[in-house]
Amino acid sequence: MEHHTCLIIGSGPAGYTAAVYAARAGLKPVLYTGVLMGGQLTQTTEVENYPGYPNGVQGPAMMQDFYNQALRMGTDIRFGYVTSVDFSQTPHQVIIDETTTITADAVIIATGASAKWLGMESEARLNGYGVSACAVCDGFFYKGMNVALVGGGDTACEEALYLAKLCPKVYMLVRSDKMRASQVMQERVKDDPNIEILWHTETVEILGDNQVTGVRVRNRQSGEENTLAVDGFFVAIGHQPNTAIFEGQITLDEEGYIITKAGSSYTNIAGVFACGDAQDKIYRQAVTAAGSGCMAALDAERWLSHQAYLAKQA
Ligand code: NDP
């Protein structure tokens, strides 16, 4: 059976950064990319808030840079999907594509999260062309324009408040008569003069050929339909951490996020570390994911050194 010192699962900013640090520390990391090689950023267009790119960069191009850097440092990058894990034994077992079993002393989980989408054709077609699931990433492009945002949780409120600083009108589409967000966030949204909450409102269709020009909405109580003239459409109905394969193996919170020891990447299982959006529901930025990937590689390197020291003493 193939064995490695350090196995990294995931190829977003967290996974590739962990790979750069692990490779430079001599851990000879093997990284499995998952299906969406490069992660969520490959589905965005321009990224303007990642330090080091003064003129901005396209999301896919940035992830190609991450890939190139991890590769140049000596990471063994493989296209494959981890379908199950067994962390009950050491070394830890990881099954790739349901067929190949690999063991590793240290496993770094960087499987990320996926934005939830409404699932409509117009949403998929205009994704990156006015449709976005990240106001902090893309809001700036709509400065001075009107936008709509769907959702009523804390994420939606945060994003609406962020957009309201840039946009004269933010329509917040809430499908029922209540929000799930904390009271304080609801109050802040209601108090913001640039935000108009449309209750009982669902999205019928996002309008536009190559760029969003409006959104057709329906009041679920009256059945009345209206068109809102907007240039941007933000979906903020939650994220799903990509952690289903770790259920029962490591401790997850009630929403499926991996619980790490405060200020570190340590999970409850020795030798298993987590970084990026799989364990972060607050910040969810490329740069914070990359930072936590660095932490995971440093934690793994120190943990492995300590294990080697203990083995020598025995
Ligand atoms: P939530 O699950 O809390 O909220 C999702 C929202 O989207 C709800 O209003 C829900 O409506 C709505 N929604 C879901 N599906 C659809 C749909 N198909 N069409 C229209 N609306 C839809 O997700 P969040 O991402 O907001 O928050 C996740 C967790 O992260 C929460 O625990 C939150 O508190 C936390 N969080 C904390 C932050 C912080 O502390 N700073 C920041 C952001 C999030 P409905 O209620 O009708 O189902």
Q: Which of 76, 86, 105, 137 is catalytic?
A: 137
Residue (of 290, 271, 268) closest to 280 by Cα position: 290
Rounded alpha-carbon distances, angstroms, from residue 302 to 29, 106, 126, 174, 308 = 15, 11, 45, 47, 10
Q: pLDDT tens-digit profile of 4-43? A: 999 999 999 999 999 999 999 999 999 999 999 999 898 7
Alpha carbon nearest to ligand 1 atom 31, residue:
154
Ligand 1 pocket by C-beta < 6 Å: which residues? 118, 150-156, 158, 175-176, 179-180, 237-239, 281-282
Q: Is the pLDDT of residue 44 over 80?
A: no
pLDDT in tens, 237-276: 998 999 999 999 999 999 999 999 999 999 999 999 999 9
Vertex 310: Cα angle to 263 and 268 (nearest 5):
35
Percent of the chain with pLDDT over 90: 92
Whether omega before 91 lies within 30 degrees of 0, making that bond cis, reads: yes
pLDDT, averaged across the chain: 96
Q: How many residues does the chain have?
A: 314
* Topology agreement, domain 2-114+239-313 and domain 117-235: yes
pLDDT score recorded for residue 52: 96
Which atom, in ligand 1's list, is nearest to the CA of 116? 15
pLDDT at 209: 96
Q: For the domain 2-114+239-313, what is the CATH code?
A: 3.50.50.60
Ranges of each domain in the chain: 2-114+239-313, 117-235
Q: Is 157 labeled as catalytic in the residue annotation? A: no
Q: CA-to-CA distance for 23 and 25, rounded, in angstroms?
A: 5
pLDDT per residue as tens digits for the range 108-151: 999 999 989 999 999 999 999 999 998 988 999 999 999 999 99
The reported pTM is: 0.80
Domain 117-235 is found in CATH 3.50.50.60:
yes
Catalytic residue check, 137: yes
Digit-coded pLDDT (tens) for 199-234 = 999 999 999 999 999 999 999 999 999 999 999 999
Q: For position 42, what pLDDT does the model report?
A: 86
Nearest to 245 by CA among 280, 278, 285, 294: 278
